[in-house]
Amino acid sequence: MKNGFSVFCVVLAALGLSWMGLVLGPVLQLGHESLTTVLNSTDPYPIQPAGAATLGLQVYKANGCAACHTEQVQQDGVVCNVVLSSPGLHPDEVSNLLSQIDLNGLTDQEASIAAAKIAAVGGKTEIRVASTGGDMSRGWGLRRSVSADYLYDQPVQLGSVRIGPDLADIGTRQTDANAILAHLYEPQSCTAGSLMPSFKFLFVTRKVQGSPSPDALALPQAFAPPDGFEIVPTQDAKNLVAYLMNLHVNVPLYEAPFTPSVAANK
Amino acid sequence: MNSNDIKPVPTSQVDASCRLPLLALLGGSALWLVLGLLLELTASLQFHAPGIFSCCPWMTYGRVLPAANDLLVYGFAIPTGLGVMLWVVARLGQVELVLPLVSFAGANVWHLGVFLGTLGVLSGHSTGYAWFEYPRVAAALLLPAFMLVAVSAVAAIGQRRIRDLYPSHWFFLASLLWFPWIYSTAFVFLLVWPVRGVAQAVIDWWFASNLIVVWLSLVGLGISFYLLPKYSGRPLEGRFTALFAFVTLLLFGSWLGIPQGAPVPFWLPASSILAGLLFSVPVLVVAMVFFRTVCGAPDGCKGGPFCQVKFGTAAFILSGIWTVVQACPQFAHSTLLTTFDLGRIHWQIFGFFAITVMGAFYELFPRVMASPLPLPRLPRFQHWFFISGALVLAASLAVAGLQQQSADFILAKILPALRASSLGWTLLFIGSLIFALNVFIMTILWAVGIIKTVVGAIKAPLTVAEVKP
């Protein structure tokens, strides 16, 4: 290549190709993604978050929570587990059979064969689909995250390093707002030896005037403010907690199926 | 235009013509380097004492870390790369730098953008996109600033006396086109008309990887392909080989960046895996060019810039191998979402890019300023601090990353390795102080010299001719 024009053409071709592939392609495919429905139901998914949760995402973004936390559940695969729902008329034969065959961690086909065997001796079974992977065994989610999970996020905070735990399903794991607030105020009060920085600047310590505020944090004795003072969260802290409590990866979707437990269905 | 028509310009005059823009680009970037590393240290301090900045939102880990990372890339790497590039194209073309005031203005607008961006991130106005955190006002300044410097560089290339393009020219021209393209794409699709959902993340990954893998490699290799033959006293081995490295770097490097396991359609990470494996081609070819040019060179490196450029180019090969290894699906799975990838990024920035441009810097700065370095013994120390710092940093992050998944992401188990990265940052910080010392003393001496000349001119006694009516 002896002149600038040929260099220009090479660069144009190379970058143009990559741009069409990794920018235009995803924008066309994902940029206009619309609502989907929960698997085997007509409930729309995802549900638009409430105002406080939307504002909370801005607090999450401003303080760079994504520097240590991801919001993406990973999954290795799916397995089928055969669950006995009723032993039928010959419980002895069924229990005899159950001790002989594997019921967990099966493929689709193996599961139907096992179910057929149990059915042959009169037992009734249910085949349950479950996701597998490190994140599932850590209890960080019931399925992998998919693109539909982020439809209402602006900006999307996937994160890339897990210095702390994944937060995509934190709203399912932690349903106590005060616990999250206490964790933000002083992480050591919830997890001894935690490396999370404390976010005291999202709280106000003030003198109790009249009766204590209903918002005041309930902290363990070692971290509680002096008598006559209380710690109340600012609006930012409340919004952030609303956002975190709204993070769920707990409904099955077409592209990431699993069989929900009965409790999760309700 | 026939090259014989133009009178050759003495080298010293070529060097002197770069003085103003280079002072603006390199002086500012030295300051940002020191500041960026200080912020990295502040961030990594929180691995030792997490509660230390609990009452200061500006210093919390999640704000300091992106501010520091951006300072290192936008504050240090890009302007330094551009500055060295201006000098190399002027030298290659054997002409004075054209439009020095344009690139001088560009450099200042750029530094203003970096300053505003850093303030924005620290005050909580980050955009939330990795490696693209500067708020809209600052981000909007960087693009025209880059274009101003690029105009000067392209004009200098256009004026060259030797009409055939040298391989370094390809790399530089590509980088001058690459940055505005990727940056404006990210700016439009993320900040002006944000796309919906995870497409944002895909564009951000594409941008970041093109910036850190492709852009830095283009500029760093362009510089080293100019300097290595100069030092080793023999021509760059294989123009065609270099061309092959150039084209494959662009073709495969530009598809990297989409992490495996991301919640996006599978063809996206799959294409990055493929590109990552194919990335071995440009890495091997660069290694070939490197060894053929350098091995058995008559003059060895005696601690001078040659050592730095040689180390930097070898570091590129290591960084490339790291990229390829990380693309292997099995391996990627076991280091997913760990600090392993962070180690590669910092190795690319410090091990390869910073050390290469610093070698070029010590080569060009005394020439451009037309005076020797004020502290000529320090560069050698700086070099060792940077090598050891980059090695400790990359190794500690890599080790932490390898442990992380088997440790079930329980931080306490990887803490020793993570804390070791603070040592890496400290070494780099000391190195940057040594580097900045030379830059600042030189700049002050130059400014004092100018003031003295002006004062001298004012105070000079009038000549007889002027007194006469």
Burial of residue A153 (number of CB atoms within 10 Å: 0-12, 13-18, 19+): buried
Q: Which two tokens stand for residue A199?
A: 């976010």
Percent of the residues in chain B that have a pLDDT greater than 70, as a whole number:
97
Q: What are the boundaries of each domain within chain A? A: 36-73+162-245, 77-132
Chain B interface includes A146 (CB < 8 A): yes
Interchain pair A138, B408: CB under 8 A:
yes
Give the Å distances, CA to CA, from B201 to A158, A228, B134, B273, B442: 7, 47, 16, 17, 43
More confident residue, B410 or B214: B214
Task: Give the contacts of B275 (CB within 8 A, at least 6 positions apart).
Answer: B252, B253, B254, B255, B256, B327
pLDDT at A192: 85
Residue A202 has pLDDT above 60, yes or no: yes
Q: How far is the first Cα of chain A from the last one, in angstroms, to the nearest whole number?
A: 67
The overall average pLDDT reported for chain B is 92
CA-angle at B431, arms to B426 and B432, nearest 5°: 95
The overall average pLDDT reported for chain A is 91
Selected residue of A158, A205, A240 to mutate for chain B interface (largest B Cβ count, 10 A):
A158
Residue B253 has pLDDT above 50, yes or no: yes
State ipTM: 0.93
* B420–chain A nearest CA distance, Å: 15
pLDDT at A152: 93
Least CB–CB distance from B197: residue in A4, A23, A33: A33
Partner residues linked to A128 by β-bridges? A81
Interchain pair B409, A138: CB under 8 A:
yes
Selected residue of B59, B207, B409 to mutate for chain A interface (largest A Cβ count, 10 A):
B409
Residue B83 has pLDDT above 90, yes or no: yes
Q: Which two tokens stand for residue A59?
A: 């607090």
Residue B461: asked if its preceding bond is cis (omega within 30°), the reply is no
Selected residue of B219, B264, B415 to mutate for chain A interface (largest A Cβ count, 10 A):
B264
pLDDT at B6: 59
* A122–chain B nearest CA distance, Å: 42
Sign of CA dihedral A157, A163, A165, A170: negative
Q: Is A36-73+162-245 in CATH node 2.60.40.10?
A: no
Interchain pair A195, B415: CB under 8 A:
yes
pLDDT at B407: 83
A130-150 average pLDDT score: 92
Q: Measured between alpha carbons, how far is B341 from B160 in angstroms, rounded to an integer? A: 40
Token pair 């053929």 is at which residue? B292
Confidence grade of residue B26 (pLDDT, cut at 50, 70, 90) = very high
Segments in A79-176 forming alpha helices (H): 91-98, 108-120, 134-137, 170-173
Residue B4 has pLDDT above 70, yes or no: no
The packing angle between helices B100-122 and B136-158, to 10°, is 160
pLDDT tens track for B258-274: 999 899 999 999 999 99
B138-164 average pLDDT score: 93
What count of Cα atoms within 13 Å lies in the side-chain half-sphere of residue A222?
6
pLDDT at B2: 46
DSSP for residue A85: E
Chain B interface includes A49 (CB < 8 A): no
Cβ count near B220 (within 10 Å) = 29
pLDDT tens track for A103-127: 888 998 999 999 999 998 888 889 9
pLDDT at A264: 41
Q: Measured between alpha carbons, how far is B242 from B246 in angstroms, rounded to an integer? A: 6
Residue B185 has pLDDT above 90, yes or no: yes
**Residues in chain B closer than 8 A to A32 (CB atoms):** 196
* B461–chain A nearest CA distance, Å: 53
pLDDT at B469: 59
Q: Which two tokens stand for residue B173?
A: 């021209």
Chain B interface includes A14 (CB < 8 A): yes
* A39–chain B nearest CA distance, Å: 18
